[in-house]
Every structure is written in structure tokens, then in C-alpha cells.
Amino acid sequence: MAISDDKSLLSRCGVDFIDDEKLHGLMGRKTDEVEVREVIAKSMRKEPLTVDETAVLIAADKPELVEEIFDAARQLKRDVYGNRIVLFAPLYVGNLCVNDCHYCAFRRSNKDAVRRTLSEGEMAQQVSALIDKGHKRLILVFGEHPNYDANYIADCTRKIYEIQRGNGNIRRVNINAAPLDHEGFKIVKDAGIGTYQIFQETYHKPTYAKMHPGNTRKGDFLWRLDGVARSIEVGADDVGIGALFGLYDWRFEVLSLIEHSHHLFNEYGIGPHTLSFPRLRPASGVSLDETHFVNDYDFKRLVAILRLAVPYAGMILTAREPAELRREILSFGVSQIDAGSRIEIGGYTEAGDAQVMEREQFQLGDVRSLDEVMLQLMEDDYVPSFCTACYRLGRTGERFMEFAIPGFIQDFCTPNALTTLEEYLVDYAESSTKEVGFKLIERELDKIPEGTMKSQVIERLQKIRETDERDLYF
């Protein structure tokens, strides 16, 4: 089930590890150059920062110290993840919703929203369109509604994995949906999902209550806060957390995300696989309170601080942000982005070039095609990756952290990024993108030391270019 109507379950309280008074106190602290540099040095050793240490970076607001934070975040990203950027696309399956979140176009009271759930055939059409563009990784998005229970989510996942188009298929299906109970998380895990994302939206309880009316399923702060923990308790160890920046003070939300990360690590031995930091965007039928809007400068600061605070976590920068800002922020520690995104229900085959606000949850800032994004990434010397090897080889949860924290993950990720990039170039890319991409691969091969690994990478690249063999991962 998606979330139980059983009041005993709905009222089940997880651990409330968000201490508002403590975090507000940390927001007001002062710091100096010596302390800031000591915290940066710890992060550069790939050690996660405490909440107090994260507050030091937040307090560092002098331009020269902020630049040092930016530089450190850039270096740490290169040390842990190399120069690769993982790509995915969102697929909105249905926007029926019983909640009434004030910032969301899909809220139940919004009469302007066009309500729809994809049929099995329509979903297959959307997935086929995405595969035909070159996508390998999706995140499915569902409203919170009884129709979208755990069995439905699992069924959608299995059907998507079955779709094959020429040499292409979807190799990883992530989920962004309502928190489930233990039984529900077990059902979706058994369907082979990747990451299950649950964003708290805001960790500030008064703001949470204001944004999410108490007579809705989402109104239970602790049920949602405990969601990721419940998933881990049934073995779904690949989880993503996030906050919607702009609902409350960005400093409080950053500290809360770090508190959440530490809670998961302390209780279960794993932290979040991904951190997300979307900003509020305009939406049909929505009037936004701008009191806590995050300007671009502070947005760059919070991304860099999150990178330093949780060195092992993947960081997701979405197409909510405009293209030029995304291009700049990529260097501050981002490891995943979506590309070629449409968030209307049925948008990949029906919407055309213009966004249709009545059919989408919010307005996108970057509507470039996947190929346009790929080309720019490679021109900026990033290696676009569609790799899904870690998830299928069990390098998740604790095992992922064993690899990621010391930085060894790039030993797997760079070869796998190159083979998935080769697939894209051979099967889907425009001619100008092919030219840039093949040159990039040659430069990256030159960086790999001579030996067995390099020989195997070259052999697999050649197979992809000359045969129909695909999905040759390490």
C-alpha cells in the first residue's frame, strides 16, 4: 500500500531528530577564517561533517571565504566522482493527489490542474520515446493517492523494465512517491527499483504544518520523516532525501539535511545515496510566498556546503534551474542531472516544444533536449554517464559507502561512464555531438593507466562501435 488509512500506522511516530531550537542556535553562530579552513580540510579528507561543522561553513559569508568553499567543493567533487555527470529523466505517471500542499500545482484544491493517469499503453509510449532519445535511467513520479499504492508502483516498474527498443532499454527505475509502510517498501524493492526518494519538503515543523494541512495524508510530519528509515528497515538501502528550498530559511534546511544524513548513518550504517535541493518554481494556480526565496548566490553556497558536508552522497541538480545557472553550479559538486525533461503527464509525446502549465507540477527552467545537454557537458569536459552497474552488482547502501567515501568509486564509474557514453554516441547522438564525444573518449582513455583495465575498456568500446553488443559494464 502507498500509505495506510489505519490510524495506528498514520500516528506511528518515528524518531524526531530535528531539534528546531538547536538548529536555530547554530544559524546564529559566528566563525573565523581559521575555523572555516579547518572544517574545509576535514571535508577534503573525505570525512562527513557534523551539523556544527556545517554551521561553520554557513556562517562563512565573507566573499573570500565563500570562494574557498566553492573551490573546495569543486576539488572534492573531482576527487570522489571524477568529471562524470550521470543523466536521467523524470516520468510523471499520474497526478491524482489527496494532499493540498500550498506550493504544488497538483494539490487537490487546484481546479486548473488537468488530472490524468497514464494507461499501460500510454506509459509504454512515453518510455519508448525516452529510450529513443538515449535515456537509460528514469525516475517515476506519482501523486499521493490510493490508486498509486505499492503494488501499482511495482507493476509500473516491472513493465518499464520489459520495454526494449532496438539496442535501448531502461536499466534503472527510481521512484519519487509518497512514503510507504514496511510492507509497501518491501513490495517495491522486490520489483527491482533503484533509489526511493522522499523529500521532507521543509524540516521546519511550523512551516511544514502551514504548507501541508493537517487533514491530509502528508500532514503527518513524523510519518514522512520516518519514511526513509522504514525503507531501510526492509532492505531498500538506496534512498534519497531532499528539501524544497524557498519554504523556510535555507540555512535551517541545510542543517536539517545533514542531521537527517547523520541519523540514517548512526542508526543503519548508511547515509543517503542522493541529496536533492530543488528550489520553488512558479506553478499553475499557485501563489508563492517569497519570504524565504533563495537567490542564486545563496543557492550556489548551499550546494557547495552540502557537497563538503556529505562527501559520499550523489547530488542532484534538476531542470527546475535555468540552463546557464546549471552549467555554473555543476562544478560545485553536482553528480546527477536530468536532461530533456518534460513533466506534463504524457509530455514526451504530446506536449510539443512549449510547456503546458496546467499539465505540469511546476515550471521548468531548462527545457533543452538530451542531445543539447550532452553536447554542452562534453564541450565543458564532463563525461556524461548512463551507468547503472553499481545497483545491479550490489554496490549500494553500506557497500557503496565503502567504495565512495575513500574515492574508489571513480575506478568503476569512469570505465562504465565511457561505455555508456559510447552507446549514446553510436545509437542516438547528432553528428556534431558524435564528433565531440568520440574525441572526449579518446582524451579520457589517455588518462587511464596502461594495464588490464584500460585494455578491457578499449575492447568494450570497440564492441559497442562495431556490433550490437550493449550494457558491457564493470
In sequence order, what E strands does 331-460 have? 336-338, 383-385
When pLDDT is cut at 50, 70 and 90, the band that residue 3 belongs to is: very low
Q: Is the pLDDT of residue 201 over 90?
A: yes
Confidence at residue 359, expressed as pLDDT on a 0 to 100 scale? 86
User: So where are the chain's domains?
Assistant: 7-18+83-402, 28-76, 407-466
> Which residue do the cell numbers 558491457 mark?
472
Instruction: Convert the pLDDT of each residue in 218-253 to its tens digit.
Output: 999 999 999 999 999 999 878 999 999 999 999 999
In angstroms, the CA 351 to CA 112 distance is 17
Q: Say whether pLDDT at 16 is over 70.
A: yes
Average pLDDT over residues 4-12: 41
Quick: pLDDT tens for 391-443.
Answer: 666 666 555 555 555 555 556 788 999 999 999 999 999 999 999 999 999 99
Which of 7-16, 267-276, 312-321, 363-372 shows the lowest per-residue confidence on average (mean pLDDT)?
Answer: 7-16
Cα separation, 397 vs 271, in Å, equals 8
Helix/strand/coil (H/E/C) assignment for every residue in 82-128: CCEEEEEEEEEEECCCCCCCCCCCCCCCCCCCCCCECCHHHHHHHHH
Q: Given this model, what pLDDT does residue 388 score?
A: 82
Structure confidence at residue 5 (pLDDT): 41
| CB contact set of 366 (below 8 Å; sequence gap of 6+) | 319, 320, 321, 322, 323, 326, 341, 373
Of 126, 137, 129, the C-alpha closest to 92 is 126
DSSP 408: T
Instruction: Report the alpha-carbon distance of residue 166 to residue 398 in Å, rounded.
Output: 35
Residue 11 pLDDT greater than 50, yes or no: no
Confidence check: pLDDT of 8 > 70? no
Is the CATH number 3.20.20.70 carried by domain 7-18+83-402?
yes
C-alpha distances in angstroms, 40 versus 30, 265, 332? 16, 21, 14
pLDDT of residue 354: 78
pLDDT at 395 (0 to 100) = 62
pLDDT tens sequence across 89-118: 999 999 999 999 999 999 999 998 999 999
In terms of residues, how long is the chain? Answer: 474
- What number is the average pLDDT over the span 257-278? 95
Give residue 236's pLDDT.
86
d(CA 278, CA 296) in angstroms, rounded, equals: 12
Per the listing, cell 550523489 goes with 314
Q: Which residues contact 19 (CB under 8 A, 6 or more apart)?
A: 259
Mean pLDDT over residues 251-280, rounded? 96
What distance in Å separates the CA atoms of residue 96 and residue 24, rounded to the nearest whole number?
Answer: 36
Its pTM stands at 0.93
pLDDT in the model for residue 398: 59
Tens-place pLDDT, residues 330-352: 999 999 999 999 999 999 998 77
